[in-house]
Structure formats: structure tokens, C-alpha cells
Amino acid sequence: MALKINFEASLQKLEEAVEQLESGDLTLDQALKVFSGGVKQAENCRKSLTQVELQVEQLLQQDDGTLQREPFADE
């Protein structure tokens, strides 16, 4: 659950940074600071998604009742 909260918080901050930059009301220094913060939030989101991707697996029951772990296939 903490991962979801971290991802959601980072995504919200990233969206706020984008809105500020799109407004055009920032000075160059302010825009650079907001952009830098946005890059950090995007990296946090990427790391969270990578962790989730590595954890997502499907458990498939075999004919003999055993479970086989396979990577999640994106179809």
C-alpha cells in the first residue's frame, strides 16, 4: 500500500509541476526549479512502476497441482 501512496503522491506532484509550467506565469528561474522537481517526481514514478512490474507474476496451476510462476504477459 505504501508503494501506491508513494506513486500517487509523486504523480500528483508531477501533474502540478506540469500545470505550473504550462501556465506560463513563472520566471525562468522558477520554471527551472519546477522542472527539476518534476523530473525527480517522474523518476520516482518510474522507479515505483518498475518495482511493481518486477513483482507482477501470474501463478498458473499445472496438471499435477503444482504452481508455476511466469512473468506477467502484456497482451
pLDDT in tens, 12-57: 999 999 999 999 999 999 999 999 999 999 999 999 998 887 666 5
Closest CA to 73 of 48, 61, 56: 56
pLDDT mean over 60-71: 65
Cβ(57)–Cβ(48) under 8 Å?
A: no
At residue 30, the pLDDT reads 97
Pairing of strands 57-61, 67-71: antiparallel
At residue 45, the pLDDT reads 95
Domain 2-71 has CATH 1.10.287: yes
Domain map (residue ranges) of the chain: 2-71
The neighbour count for residue 11, using CB atoms within 10 Å, is: 15
pTM, two decimal places: 0.68
Exposure string over 23-53, b if 16+ CB within 10 A, otherwise e? eeeeeeeebeebeeebeebbebbeebeeeee
Per-residue pLDDT at 59 exceeds 90: no
